[in-house]
Structure formats: C-alpha cells, structure tokens
Chain A
Amino acid sequence: MVEILAYALASALYLGYLFTARGPVTRVARAALSVGVAAQLSDIGLRCVAGQNPVSSTPEAVALVAFLIACGTLVAGLRYKLTAAGAFSVPASLTLLVLARVVPADPGTPRFGSLGMAHVLLATLGVAVFAFAAVLAVLYLVEEGRLRRRRFDRVGREAPLATLDRLALRCVSIGFPVFTVALLTGAIWIARLGGIASPEARRPEYLIAVAAWMAFGALLVARVGAGWRGRRAAWLTLGGFGGTLLVLFFYILRYAV
C-alpha cells in the first residue's frame, strides 16, 4: 500500500516537474519515489519469504516490472539528468503496480515450472528495459516537439535530445537479446505444455509478442546498421513497446478472467 501511495505522489510531482521545470520539485519527487522503491523492495522480500518469488505468477511479475521501471527512473534522474523521464515512467509504474494488486491472487493457479519462471523473469526484464526505451522515446518526442515549436522556455535543464536518443538505443540493444531468449524459452515452454498445435498455443498475444520482437529487431537493424535516429527511431521504439505492453495486458486479462 505504501508503495502505491508513494508512486502516486511521485507521479504527480514528476508531472508537475514536466510542466513547471522547477528544480525543488525534483528532490521531493525523488524522495517520494525512493520511499516507494524501498517499500516495494521490502514487500517483494516478504513475499519471497512467504514462498512467492517475484516471477512465480503473472501479478508478481507485473509488479516486478513496475519496480524495475521505478528503479530505472531513479538512476536516470541521478546519472543522466533525465528527471522528466519520471513524468512518464512513474505513472507507468503506478499503473502496472495497481493492476498487479487489483488482480485477485488465485491460489488455484498452477505454479510455473523452472522453465516458466526463466521465461517470466527474462520477459519481465525485457519489458522493463523496453519500457525505459519507450519512456526515453516519449521524452524525445516531447522535447523535440517543444524545440520545434520554439517553446524554449518549456525546455528544462534536461539532457539534450542526442542523449535521449543514445540511451534509448542502448536500452533497446540490451532489451532485445533478453527479449529474444524470453521468446525462445516461451516457445519451448508451450511446446512442452501441449505443442504448437494445441489451442493453448494459438493465442493472439504470442503473435503480438513476435510482432513486437520484429519491430525492435527492425529498429536495431535500422539504427545500428544504417545509422537511423531521431523521430522515426523514437516512433518505432514506441511501436515495439506498445506491442509488448499489449502482450502484458493480455496476460493480466487472461489471469483475471
């Protein structure tokens, strides 16, 4: 509960920062977020002790994504002067955490096997890193829009566009291999459960996951191979992340219903 309240407060503060670009807000927002991260960390610890590790079920994994994004926000703010990223990442964290908590814990759900847990862990990490790439992409588009519209006053003392672009690329290059292995373990898992032919294997989210993977793959080829950057790269990152997000929602939906 504490972490939800802290994330909510931090969200409001970071959004406030985005629109006012006032320095003092930053410190309070960072403090609130730190409280949330600490609270969630102890919560995850407690759950682990109780036998529910963070990748043992869908809601736990979603909560873990929220946690990782929140941690990333703290790092980004301190290391790269990317305070404005919090305006997008912390609300995302909050939404995911709330989703994870409102979904009723279903004791009847079979626990994942070790292959399943490996898949969930990798997918979680991949989604978290992609989420950050997406946040950077949004930030890029927002800042870029402000610069284009010549709203210099609104452009705070943030990292320059080139930094946003570079870090987003770094996130995607880290996330992509992780996500690739996650897809592979997922495929093997499905094959073990019932095979490709089973109705279980014909869910739309699997197709979306593959589509998202392809989007990120295309993005990497364009960026690393052909040196593409800027606006289009940002939009492609968002597209890829939209796909992974959709997959995540399908999972939660399926779990809840």
Chain B
Amino acid sequence: MPGGIDFLVMGLSHRTAPLVVRERLAVAPDQIIETVRGLAKLPAVREVALLSTCNRVEVYIASPDPDAAIASLRQDLAERAGAEESELGSHLYVRVDVEAVHHLFRVASSLDSQVVGEPQILGQVKQAHDSAIAAGVAGPVLGACFTGAFRIARRVRRETEIARNPVSLSSVAIDYARKIFEGFTGRTVLLVGAGKMADLAARALRGQGAELVITNRTAERAAELAARIGGRVHSFEDLAGALVRADIVIASTGARQPVLTRDLVARALRKRRGRPLFLIDIAVPRDVEAGCAELSDVFVADIDDLQKQADQHRNGRRGEADRAEAMVEGEVARFLEAYRGRRVGPTITALRGHVLSISRGEAERALSSPPLASIGERERRGVLDLAEAIAKKLLHGPQVVLKRGGADPVDGAALVATVQRLFELEVAEPAATTAAVLPAEAETDAPSADKVVGR
C-alpha cells in the first residue's frame, strides 16, 4: 500500500547481520552529527537521521527520489564499512514509504529489539532524531515519522505488559533483591570489583535510596567508579568488615579465584545476626564460592540464574508483543490517514469554508429581500438549513476524491493544485513539502482547520 511518504530506511540489525558486520558500520555517539551531515550531501537525500546502537545501524532518509537515494546510500555505506557493495548488500535491508514508517514504529516500540520490550531503544531513537535536528538535516518528514514513533512507543509501554517483567540482568537482580528487602532506602550496596554490569545495577539501586560502597583490588579504579556513580570507597583488605555492613553485594571482579569465599562470608555472618545478605555474582569466573549459598540468611544469584529468569520473562513478553504489533499496525494506519489529511486537509477545509460561506450568504440575502423577508422564524431556519444541505451534498464528492487522491505523491499534488485554482482558494501552505507536518498535528485525527485562509 503506497502511502505517498517520501521516507525510507536502510540498515542492518541483529536480525540480518552478525556483530562483526554491525560493528564495522557502527557510529560512535560523538560522531553521529558529523556523519549525518555527510549523508545529507548524498544525491536525492533531503533529510537524514542515523540510529546506531549495539544491535542496529539504520539510516532514515526523506527523499523525493527513493531509488536514487537507495543507490547512493548503498555505495556510501559500503565505503564506510570498507566492504564491497555486494558483500554488505546481503545484510542490508531497505524499507520505503509506509513500510519504512512501520519499521520505525516497531523499532521505537522495542518490538524489533533483541530483547523485546527493552526500554533503552526509545531513548536511542529520540537521540537519533535530536542529533539530526542538531545537525540541521532533519525536516518535516522525519519530524512527522519520528513523532509518530515516539507516540506509539509510549502507548505500547503504557497499554501492554511488554516491559513489565524485567529482562535485563541488572533489573532482574534488582527485582530479586526486592523479594528480600522492603525497598532500598538506607540499604548498603557493596560493589566488589568495578565491572560495567555492576555499574548499571548499582546506579539503579542508588536511585532508589541505597548507599553505595565500592571496593576493588586496585584502589584507584574503586575511587574512579565511586566518583562516577556516587559512593564511597572501602579498603579491599577489609572486605570482611564491609561484608558485615552490606545488605547487597554485587561482585564483578576479574579474579580467577572466588573473592567471596565461604569462610570469609561465614565470618561476616557471625556479626550480622541473621540480617539477610544478598550476593549478586555477575563475574565469570564466579566471585562467590559455591558453598556460600548454604550459609544461613545468605542469598546468592549468579549470572546464570539471572539469565534464566531474564529468558523466562522474555518468553512471557512474546504474547504481549503480538498485542503490541496490532497496536503498531493501527497506529501506522492512523498516521497515514493523518499524513494524507495534512496534504489535502487545508485544501478541503478551504473548499468547505468557501462553498458554505457562499451558500449561507446567498440564503441570507434572499431572506432579507421582499418575498421572504416576512416569513416566520421556523421558515427562516428551514431556508438556511436547505442552503447548507445543498452545499454539503455538493461538497461530499470532491472531498472524497481529494482525500483518496491526495495519497498519490504525484497526482495528489496536481489534484490539490487544480481544486485550489478552480475555486480560487488561498491555502496558507501547500502542505506536502513544508513544515505542515508538525508534532502536535500527529495527535489529531481530523485535518486541522486553523492553518487555512478560506476564501
């Protein structure tokens, strides 16, 4: 179904390309603006946004000539990846027009993510659009499509349970901790080691009121991490002392041998008086000795446990994903309608205003002249209604044709122009190529009337 939207996407994702290919095309966040400026110089490319995450690299383009844009983009991407076009070609996918909108909506709603329902992607899509704006290469088409994408993404998040159960390891760990502790305010989280994963979970816990204590074999790295995520450093030599005070321990050292041995934990337990201790072990090889799990009031979760739980939640999300897909379909249809409405909307509104004002004016003139001037109020009403009814009947056909025909990118514009000439309509802006596609309008179903000077 052609939608008449000059929009296309080309890219590759975890579905089509292995990491080795993806990383060759990936663009660092601080390079995005420069890159989109470069892409915007390609022939037939009018607006560009670039979405580069660990799972996908996608270029969204508004172009009046999709075929030319695709050809030049293919070549450009191959050059960037340092590969032959044919080599990259098998990994690249291209969607144009409505298909591209549908794709963007699915991506933003996290339906195309490796982990369906993961929350980061929406932010990344927003970032992509913001960067395009910052680079000065965004425009009305991207604006409309991305705004629509943000809207459906929020709806999916709100109305489905797709993101309800956590599927990322750090959030699964926090979810687990929630089954032990009543909230995290005043709880002490001890980070043993300065791994990246620990970072995520610790930040989240800190956000919920937990106090962070960091210990690491190399004190400098501990201090660095403490400064970055907000916590204090505890000496690694006194690990046992730190264990006595901690409620949650996140271990992520690169040590070959367990750092938290059964002995060490048992010693700390004596001073804890049964206070639950939750050891989250996200290190490989493991940091928590297996025997620790047998100790009283000690709970251990290693990376496999978290992964298993995450997988289960992920399966649960699949059912919700079907519902979300249906919502996306509906939203694409609505979007299309609104988009088309925007092209022909102002013209239709102007036409209606023009015809209705003539019919009303004529009826009122007739009512104020002799033969009709003396009739009663009811009859007056009747005449006015009659005039309006005739005008509306006459308008119906042209409106339908305009709405339908407006979808066509070439004929639609001609049709709109013809109608405007025939009726001498003054429409503020020929909508299809300008900034008429505004965020606020994506919210309304009906074409907006207030941008039109009806005459």
Contact = CB atoms under 8 A, between A and B. Distances in A.
Interface of A: 143, 147-148, 150, 152-153, 155, 158, 160-163, 166, 226-233
A153 B312 contact: yes
A232 B269 CA distance: 13
Contacts of B182: 160, 162-163, 166
A111 to B, nearest CB: 46
Interface residues of B, number: 18
Contacts of A160: 178-182
Contacts of A231: 274, 296-297
Interface of B is mostly: loop
Nearest to A234: B274
A147 B273 contact: no
B305 A150 contact: yes
Interface in B158-194: 176, 178-182
Interface in B133-178: 176, 178
B299 A228 contact: no
Given A230-B296, A231-B274, 12 more contacts: A143-B179, A148-B293, A148-B299, A155-B179, A160-B181, A161-B179, A162-B180, A162-B182, A229-B274, A229-B275, A229-B276, A231-B296
A148 B182 CA distance: 18
Interface string B258-291: 0000000000000001111000000000000000
A153 B178 CA distance: 14
A152 B176 contact: yes
A143 B299 CA distance: 12
B359 interface: no
20 contacts: A147-B176, A147-B180, A148-B293, A148-B299, A152-B179, A152-B305, A153-B309, A155-B179, A161-B181, A161-B276, A162-B182, A166-B182, A226-B273, A227-B275, A229-B274, A229-B275, A229-B276, A230-B274, A230-B297, A232-B296
A162 B181 contact: yes
B301 interface: yes
B248 to A, nearest CB: 12
B299 A229 contact: no
Nearest to A143: B179
Nearest to B309: A152
Contacts of B181: 160-162
A150 B296 CA distance: 15
